[in-house]
Amino acid sequence: MPNLKSAKKALRQNLKRYIQNKRLKERVKRWSKKFDSIVKEKNYDEAKKVLAYLQKLIDKAAKKNIFHKNKASRLVSRLYKKLNSIESLGTK
């Protein structure tokens, strides 16, 4: 346990940030799974809507340094690749 007043405050801040970061990471993971299931169903319109929201979440996580900016870019790129694979099947 911290002894100094500043160390106690730092501990509180770190815990608060940890919870917020974890919450955002879990939301990204949850929406990614939802996106994958929609892609398996080949529902292009719904997948496009979910991807827009998911990209917003990923960009927000990158802005807050929860994800590195290159990781965020890579994730979004792969998601768009999946979306384009069902678009090319002609199931719009």
Chunked mean pLDDT (size 10), the chain, 92 residues: 94 97 97 96 94 97 96 97 83 48
Quote the pTM value.
0.84
Predicted confidence at residue 59, as pLDDT, reads 97
Long-range contacts of 62-66 (CB under 8 A, 24+ apart): 64/21, 64/24, 66/21, 66/24, 66/25
pLDDT on residue 90: 53
Decide if 4 contacts 33 (C-beta within 8 A): no
Q: Which fold has domain 5-87?
A: Methane Monooxygenase Hydroxylase; Chain G, domain 1 (1.20.58)
Where are the chain's structural domains?
Answer: 5-87
Q: For residue 47, what pLDDT is reported?
A: 95
